[in-house]
Structure 1
Amino acid sequence: MAASKIAITIDDRTLKRLDLLVKSKFFPSRSNAIQQAVTEKLNRIDKSRLAQECAKLDPEFGQSLAEEGFSMELEEWPEY
């Protein structure tokens, strides 16, 4: 995957905490830690958007779609 270099500004306290994690080998580098954090945040945003859209759905309409044609299928099933 292609990567791009960027410059960021981060407060000293956060940077010190990040450096401790890198020093303890929790992350291989600052860059890796920040990349993982951004990726995780973007994934959370995507999931949040999906949840918001799902909340707009009408459960009764969804149920009717799921059951559409189900009564005909029951008549076609062989008896055991």
Structure 2
Amino acid sequence: MPTTKVAITLDEEILEEVDRLVKEKKYPNRSKAIQEAIQFRLERWHKTRMIEEAKKFDIEEEQTIAEEGLVAENETWPEY
């Protein structure tokens, strides 16, 4: 994936923690550590958002729709 250089501002404590992880060879450099942290956070955000959207479903209504679809599908297939 192509990368783009950006400038960011971090709290000193966060940068010290990132530098510690790089020094301990957990990450090859600051960029990789920060990139993975952002990616992890985005994945969690998307997952949380999907869970919140799923909570909006009416289970009984979804079941009814699914059953109606199965009945209609079975009616359209020819018997052999």
TM-score band by shorter chain is: 0.7 to 0.9
AA paired with 1:55? K
Q: CA deviation at 1:66?
A: 2.7
- The yes-or-no answer on 1:38 pairing with 2:38 is yes
Question: Deviation per CA, 1:22-76, whole angstroms, max 9, x where unpaired?
Answer: 0010011100000001111111111111111111110001111233329x78xxx
The TM-score, its normalising length taken from structure 2, stands at: 0.79
Aligned-residue sequence identity (percent) comes to 44
Alignment-derived partner of residue 66 in structure 1 = 66
Deviates more, 1:28-37 or 1:58-67: 58-67
> What CA distance in whole angstroms lies between the structure 1 residues aligned with 2:24 and 2:32?
14
AA paired with 1:35? Q
- List runs of 5+ in structure 2 lacking aligned partners: 76-80
> What CA distance in whole angstroms lies between the structure 2 residues aligned with 1:50 and 1:65?
21
Q: CA deviation at 1:7?
A: 0.6
> What CA distance in whole angstroms lies between the structure 1 residues aligned with 2:66 and 2:46?
26
Q: Once superposed, which parts of structure 1, at least 4 consecutive aligned residues long, lie more than 3 Å away? A: none
- List runs of 5+ in structure 1 lacking aligned partners: 74-80
The TM-score, its normalising length taken from structure 1, stands at: 0.79
> What CA distance in whole angstroms lies between the structure 1 residues aligned with 2:62 and 2:24?
50
Count of equivalent residues = 72
**Secondary structure class of the residue paired with 1:67:** helix
